[in-house]
Structure 1
Amino acid sequence: MSESKPQAERNTESAIKVRQVTDVHANWNEEGRGQPGKFSFQLILDNGAEEYAIRPPAEDADVLMELFNSTDVLYFDMERKVLIFSNLSLGG
């Protein structure tokens, strides 16, 4: 028998629109021999409370990797599908 969450808890969780990205898993897959591949990033939100995958083109994936490495805190707006980078380290 599976336990379900109380309605109030489900309502609270569904009301959360912006979550902290607590981990990022990167992935690349081959589309076909000699063909360009596809990148994806799996965003782990609030230590696993939610997950979301983004599939940027290669040029954007390169920029995202730099931003991931340059930020202290990262958020994801679930409603608008927006990554929010906080406290960027702007090295020269």
Structure 2
Amino acid sequence: MDFCFFLIGFQEFNKPLKDVGNVACYCGHCHNQTAFATRTINCVTLFFIPVLPFYYQKRLKCNTCGTTGGLDSTAIDRLKKGEPVAIG
């Protein structure tokens, strides 16, 4: 008797945004200056190997509590100037 199973799932990958620098931003959830701009890529995985990326987003992510918030074009412009923004 032959059978086959596939282990399919979803995984999120975060990479720092290189064009905005490394500006520490304020997190409104844990009240720390540990949020940084990231590029998030969500992928379909097959046996834990990313196969198909299906969602890209630029956002702030807190390294302490994990809270995230979206980045719009005005917030990205402020980060490029070195001005911190906050997660709401």
More strand by share: 2
* TM-score normalised over the length of structure 2: 0.34
Where relative contact order (Cα < 8 A, 6+ residues apart) is larger, the structure is: 2
More helix by share: 1
